[in-house]
Amino acid sequence: MFIKQLYTGCISEAAYYVESNGEAAIIDPLRDTEVYTNLAKERNAVIKYIFETHFHADFVSGHFDLSKKTGAPIVYGPRTETKFDVHIAKDGELFTLGDISFTVLHTPGHTIESSCYLLKDEQGKDHALFSGDTIFVGDVGRPDLSSGDMTAEELAAIMYDTIQTKILPLADTVLLYPAHGPGSSCGKNLGPNTFSTIGDEKKSNYALQPQTKENFIKAVTDGLAEAPRYFPINALINKEGYESLDTVKEKALVPLSVADFKNKMNRDITVLDTRPGNVFIEGFVPGSIFIGLEGRLAEWAGSIVSFEKPILLITETGKEEETVIRLARVGFSRFEGFLQGGFEAWQNAGEQIDMVITIEADEFAMDLPHDTKLQAIDVRKETEFAEGHVKGAINMPLTDLTDTAMIAGLDDDQNLYVYCGGGYRSVIASSLIKKQGIHNLRNIAGGWGSIKEEKKIPTAKDARVLN
């Protein structure tokens, strides 16, 4: 028996390759499927099953492409409805894989079709639970993402029964392999590790502690942040199917001259620049949006970039394909090419450029007492802002900056000082604000992390949110 967790940190996603006696199963694959087919080829194995734990909302699954390439069936749990062919397993159905087997456990709660796959070893002993978004390390899947006609409270009640009847009876020694790790928005507060045991979760996971159903519902539903706006889009794509990643790449990886690129910009189109933030601020194509490859590109793009508009790409040379793959993971497919030669080609052609003036926290501290038109803009989440911020700052969370009315509300003669937690989000925010025609801004390098170390900068907290 061979088990490999294939973890993609930029979207906090875990897929799994399980193999026995030349047969392999892939659990919750990403859209870029070569890693699975290559691994099977290296190990002289045949992919026999593609197991899906549920309709993922935070990424586009590779089930569709992988099934076409391998001929392996896509397996979902009970109450699944799709627009393409899948094997809908019964609760308790057994799937053999070489000398081991998987038992389907229908575990509704995160979604109605959510299911776990219980792996039994060569001796028929329960070995590992591939739990999808039902159980995480330290958390459970939020019940408000794909509920259909059901409320979050109704699904949470179902989840309580799932835990009591399907999860808690498992032996403490059973390994727990969830679909996500820390940073995922599919739970409230996932633990720092990407795997655990049922025994450890019984001790430390708040959702697995002895409690009434009413208390459980409250614990699971309280404090849920608003789900990223691309989640319903991805869930629908996973349910209905999609064009192959190869087709998406074929459309996207078209090199464009400066003239052709500029001509396409005259349409209603998104120009996305994925170079490092410290490079972008020194010079960029006017009107372009920054979301750097060094951060959680796919998640931020899904939250602030339109899925309806075509996309033109500006990347570091050689990073074009990586950019397309990472964007395709969250459902982007309307690409029209990339700027050949990158920003340098644009600059060398003598075209107009823009830049983001960036200052250190100590310079911000010096400006504060003297600039009567200074306005600090904090683009972190509301909870982050509440825990500590520059006194007098306005909280404009990054995801809200796609609302042109919010940016239009800024005073034209204000001097804006934009900051986030560490400097990544504030560059995104600066590009969005500049795109709307407001250029009197400064980006504060190092964000709140640097600001709070400057004793001369007054700070405050928002007790109303914290309570």
pLDDT digits (tens, 9 = 90+) for 97-120: 999 999 999 999 999 999 999 999
In a domain, 237, yes or no: no
- The domain boundary residue, chosen from 185, 203, 232: 232
Cα(307)–Cα(118) distance, rounded to whole angstroms?
37
Is residue 184 scored above 70 in pLDDT?
yes
Q: How confident is the model at residue 465 (pLDDT cuts 50, 70, 90)?
A: low
Cα(385)–Cα(140) distance, rounded to whole angstroms?
26
What mean pLDDT do residues 235-262 have?
96
Count of domains for the chain: 3
The answer on 309 and 175 residing in a single domain is no
Q: Which amino acid belongs to residue 427?
A: V
- The domain boundary residue, chosen from 182, 197, 232: 232
pLDDT of residue 226: 85
Per-residue pLDDT tens over the stretch 358-385? 999 999 999 998 888 999 999 999 999 9
The answer on 13 and 161 residing in a single domain is yes
In a domain, 136, yes or no: yes
The answer on 337 and 372 residing in a single domain is no
Cα(239)–Cα(234) distance, rounded to whole angstroms?
9
Range of 430's domain? 358-466
In a domain, 44, yes or no: yes
The answer on 255 and 226 residing in a single domain is no
Average pLDDT, the chain: 95
pLDDT of residue 466: 53
What mean pLDDT do residues 423-449 have?
96
Per-residue pLDDT tens over the stretch 273-313? 999 999 999 999 999 999 999 999 999 999 999 999 999 99
In a domain, 292, yes or no: yes
Residues 414-446, buried b or exposed e (16+ Cβ, 10 A)?
Answer: bebbbbbbebbbbbbbbbbbbbeebebbbbbbb
Q: How far is CA 336 from CA 50, 77, 108, 344, in A?
A: 32, 37, 40, 20
pLDDT of residue 378: 98
- The domain boundary residue, chosen from 297, 321, 348: 348
Looking up residue 213, the CATH number of its domain turns out to be 3.60.15.10
Looking up residue 295, the CATH number of its domain turns out to be 3.40.250.10
In a domain, 322, yes or no: yes
The answer on 31 and 167 residing in a single domain is yes
The answer on 217 and 97 residing in a single domain is yes
The answer on 455 and 375 residing in a single domain is yes
The answer on 339 and 277 residing in a single domain is yes
The burial of 409, by beta-carbon neighbours within 10 Å (0-12 exposed, 13-18 middle, 19 or more buried), is given as exposed
The answer on 270 and 134 residing in a single domain is no
Is residue 467 scored above 60 in pLDDT?
no
The answer on 99 and 42 residing in a single domain is yes
The answer on 461 and 372 residing in a single domain is yes
Identify the H or E element spanning 378.
strand 374-378
Per-residue pLDDT tens over the stretch 120-173? 999 999 999 999 999 999 999 999 986 568 899 999 999 999 999 999 999 999
